[in-house]
Amino acid sequence: MKTSNKQKHSISRRSFLAATGLAIGMPAIIPSRVLAAEGKPGANDRLVIAHIGVGGMGGYHLNDMKRFVDSGEVSIAAVCDADENRLAAAVEKAGPGAIPYRDYRYILERDDIDAVVIGTPDHWHAVQMVHAAETGKHVYVEKPACCTIDEGTAMMRAAKDNKIAVQVGSQGRSEPEAYLAHRYLENGVIGHVDRVDCFHYESPTDENPVPDSDPPPELDWDLWLGPMRWRPYNQRYCHGTFRWIMESGGGQIRDRGAHVMSCAMWWMNADGTWPVTIEATGTPPKKGLWDSAVTINVTYTFKDPDWILTWNQPGNPVPKEERGPDEPEITRPGYGAVYHGDKDTFHHWGGDGGTWAERKCREWEPPPGAKDVFKSPGHKEDWFNGIRTGSKTIMNIDAAVGVSDLCNLGNLSYMLGRKLTWDGANRRIVDDEAANRMLGRPQRHPYHL
């Protein structure tokens, strides 16, 4: 891979590591003269990757990427976070080649970096993905893809215009039992499916509000807020708890909904389609800063083909099922979906990194002539294939924006208290200009699309 002045604008690695008590490592980029070891590619064949946002799922992705570093497929050139404690931990995990940055924009200036993994809070996803695309970098971005309809439009355009491979972190599509579920439904074992009911438990409430305060010294609060409107720091905003703020997280429907409804759209062969109407009801929290819906029920009506998708929070969770004698016992999460066919029903739990199909699906043996479906080699492996071959990823940005639209339109119907008619082709709400004004929102300079 070509090199650049990679030290420019970075936090000085020597001073950073000295301040955090970490050992000084090796050069940041493996020289191209290094020859391939037996069974491993040489440095020029490796993907050079940077991680932007290294707490929570971002930390998981950094740990997971090490298996590709060990196999010689990847080198990690940089890590980035607005929290210096998280950044210090990430430097240690990433290894001696990784340079720490507080501001992702300096990473994007580096022409030796091929791709970025974005694990920042939801309100950053669209801006960082679009900016990375504009510099020609491939992107793995956590779900949900976006917080608004307009952000999703910008993301799809950026990926297309810059011809990059994007994988969005609704990894349930790549799970082994997701493949079994898709194959089971595709072969019509339960007949024609005309309804899918998703179930999930309620969003939490802030029962112990605290006053605003100064941010902790390790956190760059202005940078953490990024494109959102400025507001004073409060412990209830981050980390993790951003999920329960409508502006930054959107509640359970935009979190787990981006997993469970992703599986539904994939298994129903509905990518590239959209509901014609969205109708939601719900209840808000009674106190505290968290403002996402505590309960919310949404009905999405699709046409040509006709089917109904519902999000039910809470819904009717499917009880635990005992595993077979040769299967490991697992703890199933309290969310998933039930598929209603004209012959039978099928249910699964999870829809993310834990996707579990019911026993009759797991034990089903395809008869001669049965249809097969795409089987992901793994969510990151599928992304690497997209980078190297140009093939469409299993959770490409168009599909992911379609799922985010479901989450965002469900929240919008709930906030407005009325049914919405959706023109998916033009990405507009029909005959409702007040609602159309809420398809986007202002973004703070300089952290904007």
What is the pLDDT, as a whole number, of residue 263? 98
What is the pLDDT, as a whole number, of residue 7? 45
pLDDT surpasses 60 at 192: yes
Does 179 lie in the same domain as 159?
A: no
Cis, peptide link before residue 200, omega less than 30° from 0: no
Does 179 lie in the same domain as 130?
A: no
Number of folded domains that form the chain:
2
Does 151 lie in the same domain as 19?
A: yes
Cα separation, 6 vs 109, whole angstroms? 8
| In-domain check, residue 445 | no
Could you report the per-residue pLDDT of 139-163, keeping only the tens digit for each? 999 999 999 999 999 999 999 999 9
Residue range(s) defining the domain that contains residue 123 = 13-172
What is the pLDDT, as a whole number, of residue 114? 98
- CA geometry: angle 379, 383, 385, nearest 5 deg: 115
What is the domain-level CATH number for residue 97? 3.40.50.720
> How many CA atoms lie within 13 Å of 64's alpha carbon, on the beta-carbon side?
15
| In-domain check, residue 448 | no
Does 161 lie in the same domain as 184?
A: no
| In-domain check, residue 317 | yes
What is the domain-level CATH number for residue 362? 3.30.360.10
Could you report the per-residue pLDDT of 108-121, keeping only the tens digit for each? 999 999 999 999 99
Q: Which residues contact 51 (CB under 8 A, 6 or more apart)?
A: 58, 61, 62, 65, 76, 78, 79, 80, 90, 94, 116, 117, 119
Q: What is the mean pLDDT of residues 215-226?
A: 98
Could you report the per-residue pLDDT of 318-351, keeping only the tens digit for each? 887 777 777 777 778 899 999 999 999 999 999 9
What is the pLDDT, as a whole number, of residue 99? 97
- The answer to whether 245 and 290 have CB atoms below 8 angstroms apart is yes
Distance in angstroms between the alpha carbons of the first and the last residue of the chain: 29
What is the pLDDT, as a whole number, of residue 10? 52
Cis, peptide link before residue 325, omega less than 30° from 0: no
Does 164 lie in the same domain as 185?
A: no
Q: What is the mean pLDDT of residues 63-72?
A: 96
Cα separation, 198 vs 208, whole angstroms? 30
What is the pLDDT, as a whole number, of residue 443? 97
Does 121 lie in the same domain as 262?
A: no
Does 258 lie in the same domain as 139?
A: no
Residue spans of alpha helices (H) in 187-240: 221-225
Q: Report the range of poorest mean pLDDT among 60-64, 313-317, 330-334, 350-354.
A: 330-334
State the pLDDT confidence band at 14, using cuts at 50, 70 and 90.
very low
Q: What is the mean pLDDT of residues 420-446?
A: 97
Question: Is pLDDT larger for residue 402 or for residue 12?
Answer: 402
pLDDT surpasses 90 at 74: yes
| In-domain check, residue 78 | yes
Could you report the per-residue pLDDT of 376-420, keeping only the tens digit for each? 999 999 999 999 999 999 999 999 999 999 999 999 999 999 999
User: What mean pLDDT is reported for the chain?
Assistant: 90
Q: What is the mean pLDDT of residues 100-129?
A: 97
**Which residue carries 């014609």 as its tokens?**
276
pLDDT surpasses 50 at 93: yes
Could you report the per-residue pLDDT of 294-310, keeping only the tens digit for each? 999 999 999 999 999 99
Cα separation, 237 vs 16, whole angstroms? 27
Q: Which of 172, 206, 240 is the last residue of a domain?
A: 172
| In-domain check, residue 384 | no
pLDDT surpasses 70 at 29: no
Sign of CA dihedral 321, 373, 309, 429: positive
Quickly count helices (H) and strands (E) in the chain: 14, 15
pLDDT surpasses 50 at 15: no
| In-domain check, residue 387 | no
Q: Which of 149, 172, 195 is the last residue of a domain?
A: 172
| In-domain check, residue 68 | yes
Q: Taking Cα atoms as reference points, which of 357, 345, 372, 326 lies closest to residue 172?
A: 357
| In-domain check, residue 390 | no
Does 214 lie in the same domain as 168?
A: no
Does 287 lie in the same domain as 430?
A: yes
Tokens representing 388 are: 């190297």
Does 138 lie in the same domain as 117?
A: yes
Cis, peptide link before residue 446, omega less than 30° from 0: yes
Does 181 lie in the same domain as 264?
A: yes
Q: Which of 117, 141, 172 is the last residue of a domain?
A: 172
